[in-house]
Each structure stands twice: as C-alpha cells, then as structure tokens.
C-alpha cells in the first residue's frame, strides 16, 4: 500500500511540473546583452545657400542659423533664426532690361524666427544618426520696406513716349511691419563625419498675418520669400551644415515581441498566405 501511494505522489509531481513548464514562454535563443546608447543633445549650424546667394547677387544679403534638440527617439525640437535684405524692381518701362526701366524698386530688410518640431521617419542601422524627417514651424518676421524710386504709370504716353514720368523725390521707409506664417518642412540630415551633419530641406509656407503699409504691398517677406498676389502660399529651401554637441546618452528601448495565446513569442511574418 505504501508503494502505491508513493507512486501516485511521484506521478502527480511529474504531471504538475510538465504542465507548469508548458505555460512558460520558451527561450528562442541567446539574448544579446549589448546595449547601444544614442547621443542626445543640441545640434547647431548655419544655412549655406544664403551666404552663397549674397556673393553671387548684388541685390541680396542674408544669413540663417539652424538648430535642433533631441527630445525622444524620433522627435526633435527645431528652429531657425535669420536676417535677409533684398532689393526688388518691377520692370515695366521701355528700357526693360536695365534698372532705369523699373516702374519702381524697393528694399525689404528684417529678421525672422521659426520654431517647431521635426519627426524622424528613417530607421537607422546600428550606430547611425541620420534623418529623413517631416516637420512643422510657426514663423514670425519683423521688417521694413523702403521705396527707393518709382515712376508714374500713365496710359497717356503723349508727353513721355519713351518712358514713364519720374515720381516725387519724397521717398519714404515703412518700418514696424510684421508677418507670421505656418510652415511645412521635409528634409534630410546625414552624418558626414563624427557629429558633423549636412542637411537639406524644402518648405511650404501659409501666410497667417501680414501687416502692410498704406498704398504699398509686401512683395517680399524675410524668411517667407516672395509674396504672390491672390495667394497665401510661399516656398523656400535651405542647405545646412551643423555640429552635434552631445549632452548625454540614452539607451534605445528594444521592441517587445508579441506573445501568442500559448505564451510563446510570435515569429515575424513575411506575409500572409491567401485563404484557399
């Protein structure tokens, strides 16, 4: 009788242990204990296109500083700060290819600030810190418009058959002008050397507010670019070089595997087969 109860006890323990082992997830392989920590910090630089245009064109000077700060794995706080000065003429006179043929020309000069976020959509390989991103900005500009010279547009060309009559010498400066807009951004940033990045972006802006002087339209807004009659949209771009200043490092959290109803990690699916 003792042997009978002993056999029953041993058989019960074995059955319970086997059932408990089946409930536990199986170890699918050796675990990698290596943890790669990614740098977090401030990345600052300058736009390369504006100084280049300043050298190539006599009627333009400008500079723009760019920067971003990493908040999480893919999210960045970003912004731009710049200053632009541009002289624009409208050629409607007889001498259309020269400055003397301009109906009027003016100089727009001012500064701007853009603040917003960037979201990195690129999945980097081990050790990479590149970006293919989309973003948004809220931008604000304060500037002035100076009318340099103008001519009186007159359809009766009897007294001035070759050109328009010169306007008054009382030419003024309109200061204290402001504008704001929303900006959608797409761009890339690639690490060329250790912590040194080259970037490029395209921008589509939507003008929200635009304070204009009396009897004159803002045809160019620093930071926004040209203003088109009948449209609130504007386009822009930049090519930047920037340097990352690492402040601290943070480990990237691995993705947790999906667990099936049997308590086992679900293997990756290459694709679903159609039902027969």
Structure tokens belonging to residue 127: 């050790």
So what's the pLDDT on residue 9?
47
CB-based burial label for 185 (10 Å; 0-12, 13-18, 19+): buried
**102-120 and 60-70 beta bridge pairing:** unpaired
pTM passes above 0.75? no
CA dist., res. 39 & res. 140, Å (int): 31
In terms of Cα–Cα distance, which of 28, 40, 68 is closest to 242? 68
Strand segments, DSSP code E, in 51-195 are 60-70, 75-91, 102-120, 131-152, 165-166, 173-193
Structure tokens belonging to residue 235: 């386009």
Start-to-end CA span in the chain (Å) = 58
CA dist., res. 199 & res. 64, Å (int): 13
CA dist., res. 231 & res. 227, Å (int): 8
Residue 223, phi-psi category: left (phi > 0), alpha (psi -120 to 50), beta (remainder) = left
Domain positions in the chain are 36-153+162-250
What is the 8-class DSSP label of residue 99?
A: G
So what's the pLDDT on residue 254?
58
Contacts of 193 (CB under 8 A, 6+ apart): none
So what's the pLDDT on residue 157?
54
Angle among Cα 225, 226, 229 to the nearest 5 degrees reads: 145
CATH class of 36-153+162-250: mainly beta
Residue 156, classed as helix, strand or coil, is coil
Q: pLDDT 10s digit of each residue in the chain, 276 long? A: 545 445 544 555 455 455 444 554 555 555 555 667 888 999 999 999 999 999 999 899 999 999 999 999 899 999 999 999 999 877 664 444 444 556 668 899 999 999 999 999 998 887 788 999 999 999 999 999 988 765 655 555 555 555 554 555 556 788 999 999 999 999 999 999 999 999 999 999 999 999 988 777 888 999 999 998 888 999 999 999 999 999 998 887 655 556 555 555 555 444 444 444
Q: Give the CB-side neighbour count of residue 88, counting CA atoms within 13 A.
A: 16
């Amino acid at each position: 009788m003792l042997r009978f109860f002993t056999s029953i006890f041993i058989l019960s323990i074995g059955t319970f242990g086997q059932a408990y082992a089946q409930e536990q997830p199986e170890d699918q392989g050796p675990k990698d204990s290596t943890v790669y920590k990614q740098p977090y910090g401030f990345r600052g630089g300058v736009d390369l296109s504006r100084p280049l245009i300043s050298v190539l064109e006599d009627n333009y000077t400008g500079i723009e500083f760019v920067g971003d700060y990493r908040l999480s794995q893919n999210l960045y706080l970003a912004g731009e700060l710049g200053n632009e000065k541009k002289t624009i003429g409208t050629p409607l006179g007889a001498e259309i290819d020269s400055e003397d043929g301009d109906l009027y020309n003016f100089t727009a000069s001012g500064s701007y600030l853009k603040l917003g976020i960037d979201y990195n959509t690129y999945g980097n390989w081990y050790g990479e810190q590149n970006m293919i991103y989309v973003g948004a900005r809220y931008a604000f500009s304060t500037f002035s418009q100076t009318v340099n010279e103008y001519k009186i547009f007159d359809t009766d060309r009897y007294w001035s058959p070759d050109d328009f009559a010169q306007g008054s010498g009382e030419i003024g400066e309109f200061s204290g002008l402001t504008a704001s807009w929303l900006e959608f951004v797409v761009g890339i940033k690639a690490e060329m050397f250790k912590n040194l990045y080259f970037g490029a972006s395209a921008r589509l802006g939507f003008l929200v507010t635009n304070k204009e002087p009396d009897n004159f339209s803002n045809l160019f807004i620093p930071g926004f670019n040209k203003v088109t009659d009948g449209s609130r949209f504007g386009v822009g771009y930049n090519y930047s070089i920037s340097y990352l200043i690492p402040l601290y490092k943070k480990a990237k959290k691995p993705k947790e595997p999906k667990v099936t109803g049997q308590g086992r990690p679900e293997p990756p699916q290459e694709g679903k087969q159609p039902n027969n």
